[in-house]
């Protein structure tokens, strides 16, 4: 099939590459000439495992093209995917200016029947606005052409987007035309062969489904962080609690890991946008407001622990930081907990020495003039002479470090673990002071009940 994708950012590029991988002829349109030039030169502007190979293979085969030519894009595809950004506005609502601009472009250039697919995450009612913009352009041109607008939200996890698209859990299709539903089914047939993953519904329900999914996952994270904060006060270990409640199939183990809050381009933006949509409809969504408030507070937990440990005296100290991206498998630092921690440390007069496997370039772009910020090429390189280590992102290479080397390099053997990667008792036995999230009292070496000989066996 022939399809056009407006927007060559995260969602658009993954969608285009995966659709082309199945033999479709895809044209990606973007107004950013620099981005298009980079893509045509074989450069991928984002980090996503496996994406570069998909883009390269399908571009070479002629199935994936990149252009700034809107007319070419509208002429090319029966399916016109809108995959542009919907950044948060000042009041928390989703900014639809890019979505509606694409709709006007389609209406201004189309000459035949088109199916316009909202792939961007948008508030309920956006399809109506897209339809009105296209219809307005057609009227302005004095043309009467048939078209349909569809809601087909994406459910891609950063770091696993290729797998999510190629083997989806579900394919949501929101339409008001049975013929359009069948055409979308045919487009997604290659991704739907094992069993039927297509769930068809009305357009507004499809739009709400995307927001509801992200809000539900964000709620689980914030609720678990709330329990973690209680566990610290009660002297309980939240990791034991997590296993205990996760064994209940009604709850499950997914998204109940305590930490330093969620970030990224989806959860924060979508929770706020849904709460704003609720307020605009005259409903106070108290739970959504609480999810957001708990998450904002949780992002400060490591800084609070660091401040308490040093009795509020952080001026002139250096904190080593492992992890900058908001989650493993991506270089995305949008609303990342690392940014909250670093900015608080700088304000308190401390310096930060950081390492991340993928997000170093993005960190340089975000903080080009911060003189108390140093990036190192290795995880152990950040430790030299630092007053403490803070762990913010749970990259695999941080899960089993050489603790003896860590102790030797740090000025003081102190770890602030925002992702609960290690066993507190083992770190006590190794002579490390260890602060985690929701794991009872601080793991102080003086209170260790761990047999050091068992640790030596692990080391050997």
Q: Please say if 266 is a catalytic residue.
A: yes
Residue 265's pLDDT band (boundaries 50, 70, 90)? Answer: confident
pLDDT (mean) for 303-329: 96
Q: In this predicted structure, what is the pLDDT of residue 445? A: 56
Nearest to 83 by CA among 44, 38, 130: 130
Report whether pLDDT(131) > 70: yes
Confidence (pLDDT) at 269:
93
To 10 degrees, what angle do helices 203-234 and 286-298 make? Answer: 50
Cross-strand bridge partners of residue 6: 29, 82
In this predicted structure, the answer to whether residue 455 has a pLDDT above a threshold of 90 is: no
**Cβ neighbours, 10 Å, residue 40:** 12
* Per-residue pLDDT at 171: 97
Per-state percent for the chain, helix, strand, coil, to nearest 5: 45, 15, 40
To the nearest 10 degrees (0 to 180), the angle between helices 97-109 and 126-141 is: 30
The yes-or-no verdict on residue 450 having pLDDT over 50 is: no
Q: Do the Cβ atoms of 386 and 318 come closer than 8 Å?
A: yes
22-49 residue pLDDT tens? 999 999 999 999 999 999 999 998 899 9
List, for residues 279-308, the tens digit of each pLDDT value: 999 999 999 999 999 999 999 999 999 999
| φ/ψ (deg, to 5) at 115 | -105, 115
Q: What is residue 383's predicted lDDT score, i.e. its pLDDT?
A: 97
pLDDT band for position 138 (cuts 50, 70, 90) = very high
3-state secondary structure 104-155: HHHHHHCCCCEEEEECCCCCCCHHHHHHHHHHHHHHHHCCCCCEEEEECCCC
Per-position DSSP letters for 293-322, written without gaps between them:
HHHHHHTTHHHHHHHHHTTT--TT-EEEEE
d(CA 352, CA 370): 10
Average pLDDT, integer, range 309-318:
96
- What digits encode the pLDDT tens for the residues 165-206? 999 999 999 999 999 999 999 999 999 887 789 999 999 999
What is residue 451's three-state secondary structure? coil
Which residue, chain included where needed, has tokens 């408030």?
293
pLDDT tens-digit readout, 331-366: 999 999 999 999 999 999 999 999 999 999 999 999
Looking at residue 39, what is its pLDDT? 96
3-state SS assignment for residue 3:
strand
pLDDT at 457: 37
Q: What percent of the chain has pLDDT over 90?
A: 91
Packing angle between helix 286-298 and helix 267-280, nearest 10 degrees? 150
- Work out the pLDDT band at 441, boundaries 50, 70, 90: low
Identify whether the C-beta of residue 77 lies closer than 8 Å to the C-beta of residue 109. Answer: no
* pLDDT for position 146: 97
pLDDT at 451 over 60: no
Would the pTM count as exceeding 0.85?
yes
Half-sphere exposure of residue 422, counting CA atoms within 13 Å on the CB side? 27
pLDDT one-digit tens code per residue, 90-105 = 788 889 999 999 999 9
The active-site residue out of 18, 28, 266, 376 is 266
Cβ atoms of 416 and 391 within 8 Å: the answer is yes
DSSP string, 226-260: HHHHHHHHHT-BHHHHHHHHHTSTTT-STT---SS
């Amino acid at each position: 099939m022939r399809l056009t994708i407006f927007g060559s950012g995260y969602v658009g590029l993954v969608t285009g590459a995966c659709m082309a991988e199945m033999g479709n002829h895809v044209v990606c349109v973007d107004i950013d000439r620099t981005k298009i030039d980079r893509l045509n030169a074989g450069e991928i502007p984002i980090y996503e495992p496996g994406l570069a190979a998909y883009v390269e293979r399908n571009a070479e085969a002629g199935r994936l093209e990149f252009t700034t030519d809107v007319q070419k894009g509208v002429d090319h595809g029966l399916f016109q995917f809108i995959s542009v950004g919907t950044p948060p506005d000042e009041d928390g609502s989703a900014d639809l200016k890019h979505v509606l601009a694409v709709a006007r472009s389609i209406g201004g250039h189309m000459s035949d029947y088109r199916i316009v697919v909202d792939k961007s995450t948008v508030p309920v009612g956006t399809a109506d606005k897209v339809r009105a913009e296209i219809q307005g352009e057609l009227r302005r041109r004095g043309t009467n052409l048939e078209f349909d607008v569809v809601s087909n939200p994406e459910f891609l996890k950063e770091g696993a987007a290729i797998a999510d698209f190629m083997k989806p859990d579900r394919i949501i299709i929101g339409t008001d035309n049975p013929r359009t539903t069948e055409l979308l089914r045919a487009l997604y047939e290659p991704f739907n062969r094992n069993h039927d993953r297509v769930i068809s519904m009305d357009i507004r329900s499809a739009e709400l489904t995307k927001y509801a999914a992200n809000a539900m996952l964000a709620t689980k994270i914030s609720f678990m962080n709330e329990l973690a904060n209680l566990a610290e006060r009660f002297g309980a270990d939240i990791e034991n609690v997590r296993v205990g409640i996760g064994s209940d199939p009604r709850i499950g183990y997914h998204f109940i890991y305590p930490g330093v809050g969620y970030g990224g381009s989806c959860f924060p933006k979508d929770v706020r946008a849904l709460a704003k949509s609720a307020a605009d409809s005259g409903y106070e969504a108290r739970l959504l407001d609480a999810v957001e408030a708990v998450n904002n507070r949780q992002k400060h937990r490591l800084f609070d622990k660091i401040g308490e440990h040093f009795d509020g005296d952080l001026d002139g100290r250096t904190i080593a930081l492992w992890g900058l991206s908001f989650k493993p498998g991506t270089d995305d630092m949008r609303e990342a907990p690392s940014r909250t921690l670093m900015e608080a440390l700088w304000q308190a007069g401390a310096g930060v020495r950081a390492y991340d496997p993928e997000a170093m370039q993005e960190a340089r772009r975000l903080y080009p003039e911060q003189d108390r910020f140093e990036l190192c090429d290795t995880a152990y390189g950040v430790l030299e002479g630092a007053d403490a280590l803070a762990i913010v992102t749970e990259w695999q290479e941080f899960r089993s470090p050489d603790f003896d080397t860590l102790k030797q390099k740090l000025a003081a053997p102190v770890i602030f673990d925002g992702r609960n990667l290690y066993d507190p008792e083992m770190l006590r036995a190794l002579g490390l002071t260890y602060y985690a999230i929701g794991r009872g009292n601080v793991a102080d070496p003086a209170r260790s009940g761990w047999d050091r000989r068992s640790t030596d066996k692990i080391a050997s």
